A and B are shown apart, each in its own frame.
Chain A
Amino acid sequence: MNVSHPNRRSFLGAGLGAGSLALHSLLQAGVKGESNSGFSHTAPSADRVIFLFMSGGPSQVDTFDPKPELAKLQGKDVPESLAKNVPRIKRAGLKNLLASPWEFREQGQSGIQMSELMPYTSKMADELCVIRSMNHRNPVHGPGECVAFTGTAAGDRPSIGAWSVYGLGADSENLPAFITMNLHSDGMQFPQAAGWGPGFLPPRYQGTVVDPGRGISHVAMPDGVDDKRRRKQLASIDWFNRRHLGSLGHHPELEARIQSYEMAFRLQTAAPELFDLGGETEATRKLYGLDEKVTETVGKGCLLARRMAERGVRFTQIRVGGWDAHGNIKANHEKMFVRTDQPVAALLQDLKQRGLLESTLVVWGGEFGRTPTMEGRGGGRDHSPAGYSVWMAGGGVKGGTVIGETDPIGYVVTERPVSPHDFHATVLHALGLRAESLTWNHHGRDEVPTVFGGAPVLEAFA
């Protein structure tokens, strides 16, 4: 498959005359050439984004934010000097600190500290920029997930993916610009549609939900219909539609509808090709763990993410459910990293060896982190949005770096706080978009992605 690195600027401004048909979306999230009047504010360092969302909230102190102090304070209450800084959020327990059951080691040339939970991702440490100072105030999954994707808890604003494709338009004529996959979503935390929703943006910017096993819905033609027969049908639809349009003179929406049939036909071909992994080598299958039961699901999602990146999908989102380690942090995180560590590392490695990592921003993180204290008596941790870790890689990000700091027990951010809005601004920055200038007029107000303000974490970029 042809790996495209189109120069976006080459078609910016092209075909944007008033009434131009190209302006009306043909594919779900726009077509190549639809640029929404040139939202390109700065030089982009990435052409696309892969958002690996770990739903349920991975624990920072067991992954990317080592806290040796916790071992000393095991079983004790949060010391008063630290407790006074813990925001009064429901569920922010202050009793019974719990040491991480895992060792941390310095990884790669850069020596980023990562826990032994991630033997595969550790090998990619020099690609990662870890932000240890994410924080917000919502400790509940659903609203927290909305905060992570849309900036507010209500779930009525556009997702970061929708803003991205609104700002950039599509890069593929045959596939949706924004695709999302929900994996392992069998637990308590249902995927929040706001996470790929368009909010008040036009619906075409919404993410297309695909099941890695089944692809895009209704793509398959019914039994007995082949391309040739479908072509004849489409030709007739086109004939009737043009005749109907002829009497109306001018009606851009009807013209767009006529074109949407051509797009649908192309999608019918492109989508099965995308989901057909038959052409992948044995080595690739192995790399992603496709043939192991535990890694198969996320492995397939990650491999598809690479294939989408190759085919010009702008924004690919993978949501992996199951990180809600209330009962037992040890059992939960071991299970979840066995599921995800190898596939995620494989994605980074594979993108890199194909020369795609430098133009693809990969981000990893959950809706919040977890308390350094034990919840109840089972060795679990509760939700905690007061300080948690995420990472970014590729797409111009300076690898092997750590940004921000939390207190000695990993509860509260002490240095360089990064809000979800800052994080969204950072993703948009990589795409060459300035959050405060990416506007959409809604109810008379020029809405921007970062409703409560938010500035990109510029030091994350090389």
Chain B
Amino acid sequence: MICLGFAFPVDVGELAFEGNWKAAGGKDGVFEIVGTGARNNPVRRSLAEPFEGEELFVRFRIVYPSESFETPAEGNGEFCVLWLDNREGDDFATHGGNVPNIGIHVKGGAVNHFMVRFRPNAESYAAPLVPDREFEIVARCWKTVPGKDRSFDRLDMWVDPKPGEEFSPHASTSTRGSIKSIKWLGFATGVKTEAGDVIRISQIGLADSWGEVVKGGDLTQTDPGKSPDEPEPMELADVKPPPEIIESDHWAFQKVVRPKVPDVKNEDWVVNPIDAFVAEKHVALGLTPAPRADKATIQRRISLVLTGLPPVGKTEEQDVEKWLQSRAFGERWGRHWLDVARWAESNGHQHNRDRPYAWRYRDYVINSFRDDKPFDEFVREQIAGDEIEEDNSDALVATGFLAAARYSGNELDKKIQRNDILTDITDTTSEAFLGMTMTCARCHDHFFDPVTAWDYYRMQAFFVNGQPGNLTLEPSGDDLIDQRWALFDSVEMRMARSRKKSGIPDPPVVTPESVVKAMTKEEKARLEALDKEIKQQSQTWGFYSPTTASRKRKFAPHEMRSPLPRDLNVLASQKVHYLVRGDVGMPGPSVEPGWPQVFGHSDVSKNKPRLSLANWIASPENPLTARVWVNRIWQGYFGTGLVATSGNFGIEGTEPSHPELLDWLASELVESGWSSRHIHRLILESNTFQQSSQFSASNQDRDPDNSGLWRWLPRRLEGEAIRDSMLVVSDQLIDEAGGPSVESASKRRSIYLQQKRDKLPDQQMMFDSPNAVASCSRRRTSTVALQPLWLLNSHFMQQTAILVAAKQQEPAKLLEQLFSRKAGSEEVAQLQNLISETGRKDAALALLNTNEFLYIP
């Protein structure tokens, strides 16, 4: 062993060596390490302070003279490593077994290579070793999670590194449970290093950053926190400009003019103007209206139409006014609106995460109907709630309408992600309030309606500076949220850096979940504590724009894999571009918000653009809004609107069956101060609504579709109303109001069952409920064999039948209770017979399966 002491000046940053190298040999700043044919540690040195930071770089130069060099093919190859350890050991100590080693080893029993390893058989190799050539070796020993109590679990190596290679090491290995601090380093040889072999080492240096350790490189780090959503400069496509003037003589785009109520001969039949308009059409088509239905039928009809529940035990005539103001009314008519709003409580798409605070919008809708909130206000709050709310957080909750859009939590392309949401919102808003299907115009000018693709993107532009999220209702939680994101962001930055080092290509994909996983115990505990506190704050799943909102709101956490950037500046800087064929990769010129040109000049406020849109929609002058809404109410009674395509008042929609009645109702709505209840009253008291379903062959010949409304046509209850009816007749209904949704085993009304997209409750899916993906203006009625199977065999129905049978043992009374009418003797005999053959339960189940029970009479 030839060992000459040599003081090597190393002091980089805060790192410093302590004392001198122990036992080294050589001259002119070069150590000569000499093999012994056994484990040997001739060169060692201590650091002034144990290093416990995030990453330590070490650099040295090495020459393996050819006289010492032996390939494995000729002998057993070479071995020499630099180790980093928390202890010194002696000349013969082994610094292996989860201790970082950087050096030379035989790869695959064949060739000497540079390598890094923590343990034998867990090494990683870089370039082969060439004798007589000087190599510069750089290694980085680092902690994926920093902290004094964390291990150095990663080891990277570069052989002759180039400045830009910080994040693409030539060899890398990892382990668990390695040393937590570095106090000593040294060079070791082993049995492969024959006695007398000489290895020359020079320029040993330490650093805590890449820039310091690699000489002469411009090594500024890129900022890993850069948002992938930042607009990249892109060439804009040339697009044909919109025409200067767009005009249309389509009926629905003309202003509503209040029509004169017609004088009709059949005066006795006319209870209110609705009947006059209907009677006029009867005459025109040669129809004779059906007689008024009997009282019991009307009672049952009103009960089911208004509340979705059968009038069990209510034999006396009910006060319609009471019904109209009941929560049950809000629950049923609210559900109709939720169809239109494509509302659900999860993000949809593949990562279908729950929206635990979305229920507030559901309650907002129920309460709005129960309280007869003026429809114009209902419109304004839903479209621009965040822009108008002051002390009224109800308005913020109302933006749940916009926020109900699906949101792909796994979409990495932020342009696509944002555009999908904007498209959803634009389509739903225009269909819900205006009865316009603008979707087609997204890719090309509308084929039929006077709507251009420019119009489409101008509509989109109203929504571009906002996005959906959990919003706090009280400012008291804002500070917690700030703290939470500050903590989260710091770890995310760290992660992004560490991922880059691991060679994961740019931009680093760091998911919120993995950020949490990468936290230290303390960080995680802090995060959990904060999240727990934040969860106790009142929140709503709403839509919020930091640039136009009337007061500051914070986005509270919402668990997602790849959410839109939270950065409000990014949101504020968004612009809508005309997209050629709807492709986000082919943007044309940017557009300013505005409504379709066919409706004239758009007067849009810069500060509150969505409020401008809402005011235009909710204006008495708007030709569509009132018509579309009264038509939806009408559909809620008769199953079909006066305009059958209730979501499409465009040229391809159907013509109104009673155009004057539609306009009369629309002007009634506006003149009553947009009171929906007023329209309900008018319909309820009309003879048109109170007709029986009596058949008439001559009417049938003249008007087979009953578009002239010559009788009432029974129609099936919706899935929700079927389930709720079952709960009512079996006394199982738990009639509680509002609050977070409940699981489907609950006995509350169906509107309160968890509405998770793709996992909607069985009976909803079975009976044609919409899938909450797009606005649904009218449900279909399918009759498939799976429905009887559910109605006969499901556990829910079996239980219901048992309870119904137990509740009423008298056949005649059972029939009366279920059908809300006196039973005929033949019916009683039929039921009696069935009971004797199959027992009470199966007989009750049969009645619950009848059309009479399941249809609005």
List residues of chain A with CB under 8 Å of any chain B CB. Answer: 24-28, 88, 90-91, 93, 95, 140-143, 145, 154-156, 189-190, 192-193, 197, 202-204, 208, 216-222, 225, 229-230, 232-233, 236-237, 239-241, 243-245, 247-251, 253-254, 256-261, 263-264, 266-268, 376-377, 443-445
Q: A27-B784, A140-B350 are in contact. Are A249 and B440 (CB under 8 A)?
A: no
Chain A residues, CB < 8 A from B849: 237, 261
A443-B827 in contact (CB<8A): no
* Assembled-state Cα–Cα distance A259/B851 (Å): 12
Complex A-B: 17 CB contacts under 8 Å? A24-B783, A140-B410, A142-B350, A202-B782, A217-B790, A218-B786, A237-B850, A240-B851, A247-B694, A249-B695, A258-B851, A264-B785, A264-B792, A266-B785, A444-B645, A444-B651, A445-B440
B456–chain A nearest beta-carbon distance, Å:
15
Chain B residues, CB < 8 A from A24: 783
Q: Tell me which of B447, B697, B789, B852 contacts A264 (CB under 8 A).
A: B789
Query: Which of B651, B693, B846 has the most A CB atoms < 10 Å from its CB?
Result: B846
* Assembled-state Cα–Cα distance A243/B648 (Å): 38
A208-B786 in contact (CB<8A): yes
B113–chain A nearest beta-carbon distance, Å:
15
A267-B842 in contact (CB<8A): no
Query: Which of B826, B843, B849 has the most A CB atoms < 10 Å from its CB?
Result: B849
B842-A28 in contact (CB<8A): no
**What is the chain A residue whose CB lies nearest that of B420?**
A154
Chain B residues, CB < 8 A from A230: 792
Count of interface residues, chain B, beta-carbon cutoff 8 Å? 75
B223–chain A nearest beta-carbon distance, Å:
20
A249-B700 in contact (CB<8A): yes
Chain A residues, CB < 8 A from B771: 193, 197
A263-B838 in contact (CB<8A): no
B846-A218 in contact (CB<8A): no
Which secondary structure characterizes the binding site on chain B? loop
Chain B residues, CB < 8 A from A91: 412
Digit string of B637-674 for contact with A (CB within 8 Å is 1, else 0)?
00000000101101111000000000000000000000
B249–chain A nearest beta-carbon distance, Å:
18
A142-B349 in contact (CB<8A): yes
> Which of B130-138, B497-505, B728-736 lines the interface with chain A?
B497-505
B408-A142 in contact (CB<8A): yes
* Assembled-state Cα–Cα distance A249/B290 (Å): 13
Q: Tell me which of B413, B439, B788, B838 contacts A260 (CB under 8 A).
A: B788
Chain B residues, CB < 8 A from A192: 350, 758
Chain A residues, CB < 8 A from B782: 25, 202-204
B838-A190 in contact (CB<8A): no
Chain A residues, CB < 8 A from B768: 203
* Assembled-state Cα–Cα distance A264/B788 (Å): 6
A444-B648 in contact (CB<8A): yes
Q: A192-B350, A254-B714, A444-B448 are in contact. Are A240 and B784 (CB under 8 A)?
A: no
B653-A444 in contact (CB<8A): yes
Chain A residues, CB < 8 A from B746: none
Q: Does B351 contact A (CB under 8 A)?
A: yes
Chain B residues, CB < 8 A from A245: 851
Chain B residues, CB < 8 A from A253: 716, 781, 783
* Assembled-state Cα–Cα distance A258/B852 (Å): 12
B857–chain A nearest beta-carbon distance, Å:
9
**What is the chain A residue whose CB lies nearest that of B449?**
A444
A140-B785 in contact (CB<8A): no
List 7 additional A-B contacts (Cβ < 8 Å) besides A240-B851, A241-B850.
Answer: A140-B410, A243-B827, A249-B694, A249-B696, A253-B716, A267-B786, A444-B645
List B residues 382-415 near A (Cβ within 8 Å).
408, 410-413
Q: Does B798 contact A (CB under 8 A)?
A: yes
List B residues 803-846 near A (Cβ within 8 Å).
826-827, 830-831, 833-834, 837-838, 842-843, 845-846
Chain A residues, CB < 8 A from B448: 444
* Assembled-state Cα–Cα distance A154/B421 (Å): 11
B834-A233 in contact (CB<8A): yes
* Assembled-state Cα–Cα distance A422/B838 (Å): 56
**What is the chain B residue whose CB lies nearest that of A252?**
B783
**What is the chain A residue whose CB lies nearest that of B842?**
A233
B793-A244 in contact (CB<8A): no
A221-B793 in contact (CB<8A): yes
Q: A239-B830, A444-B653 are in contact. Are A218 and B505 (CB under 8 A)?
A: no
B851-A236 in contact (CB<8A): no
Q: Does B713 contact A (CB under 8 A)?
A: yes
A26-B504 in contact (CB<8A): no
* Assembled-state Cα–Cα distance A444/B831 (Å): 47
Chain A residues, CB < 8 A from B833: 236
List residues of chain B with CB under 8 Å of any chain A CB. Answer: 172, 349-352, 408, 410-413, 420, 437, 439-440, 447-448, 502-505, 585, 645, 647-648, 650-653, 693-697, 700, 713-714, 716, 758, 768, 771, 773-774, 780-790, 792-794, 798, 826-827, 830-831, 833-834, 837-838, 842-843, 845-847, 849-852, 855
B591–chain A nearest beta-carbon distance, Å:
22
* Assembled-state Cα–Cα distance A23/B172 (Å): 67
Q: Tell me which of A256, A261, A268, A445 contacts B652 (CB under 8 A).
A: A445
Chain A residues, CB < 8 A from B850: 237, 240-241, 244
Query: Which of A27, A193, A221 has the most B CB atoms < 10 Å from its CB?
Result: A193
**What is the chain B residue whose CB lies nearest that of A268?**
B789
Query: Which of A28, A156, A260 has the most B CB atoms < 10 Å from its CB?
Result: A260
Chain A residues, CB < 8 A from B830: 236, 239-240
B653-A28 in contact (CB<8A): no
Query: Which of B447, B448, B700, B714 has the most A CB atoms < 10 Å from its CB?
Result: B714
* Assembled-state Cα–Cα distance A203/B650 (Å): 25
Chain A residues, CB < 8 A from B694: 247, 249
A-B CB proximity, top 9 nearest: A444-B652, A249-B695, A142-B350, A264-B788, A263-B785, A218-B789, A264-B785, A256-B783, A218-B793
* Assembled-state Cα–Cα distance A202/B781 (Å): 9
Q: Tell me which of A204, A241, A264, A377 contacts B172 (CB under 8 A).
A: A377
B780-A202 in contact (CB<8A): yes
B856–chain A nearest beta-carbon distance, Å:
12
Chain A residues, CB < 8 A from B408: 140, 142-143
Query: Which of B504, B697, B783, B798 has the most A CB atoms < 10 Å from its CB?
Result: B783
B505-A95 in contact (CB<8A): yes
Chain A residues, CB < 8 A from B838: 229, 232-233
* Assembled-state Cα–Cα distance A256/B784 (Å): 9
Q: A140-B410, A233-B845, A444-B652 are in contact. Are A240 and B783 (CB under 8 A)?
A: no
Q: Tell me which of A93, A243, A377 contacts B502 (CB under 8 A).
A: A377
B365–chain A nearest beta-carbon distance, Å:
23
Q: Tell me which of A88, A261, A376 contacts B788 (CB under 8 A).
A: A261
Chain B residues, CB < 8 A from A268: 789
Chain B residues, CB < 8 A from A256: 783
B773-A444 in contact (CB<8A): no
B714-A233 in contact (CB<8A): no
* Assembled-state Cα–Cα distance A218/B797 (Å): 11
Q: A141-B410, A244-B851 are in contact. Are A257 and B783 (CB under 8 A)?
A: yes
A443-B648 in contact (CB<8A): yes
**What is the chain A residue whose CB lies nearest that of B168?**
A95
Chain B residues, CB < 8 A from A254: 714, 851, 855
**What is the chain A residue whose CB lies nearest that of B815?**
A240
Chain A residues, CB < 8 A from B845: 233
Chain B residues, CB < 8 A from A267: 785-786, 789
B851-A241 in contact (CB<8A): yes
A341–chain B nearest beta-carbon distance, Å:
27
A338–chain B nearest beta-carbon distance, Å:
26
**What is the chain A residue whose CB lies nearest that of B505?**
A93
Chain A residues, CB < 8 A from B648: 443-444
**What is the chain A residue whose CB lies nearest that of B700?**
A250
Q: A197-B771, A229-B842, A237-B849 are in contact. Are A248 and B693 (CB under 8 A)?
A: yes
* Assembled-state Cα–Cα distance A103/B506 (Å): 32
* Assembled-state Cα–Cα distance A217/B713 (Å): 32
**What is the chain B residue whose CB lies nearest that of A94?**
B505
Chain A residues, CB < 8 A from B503: 376-377
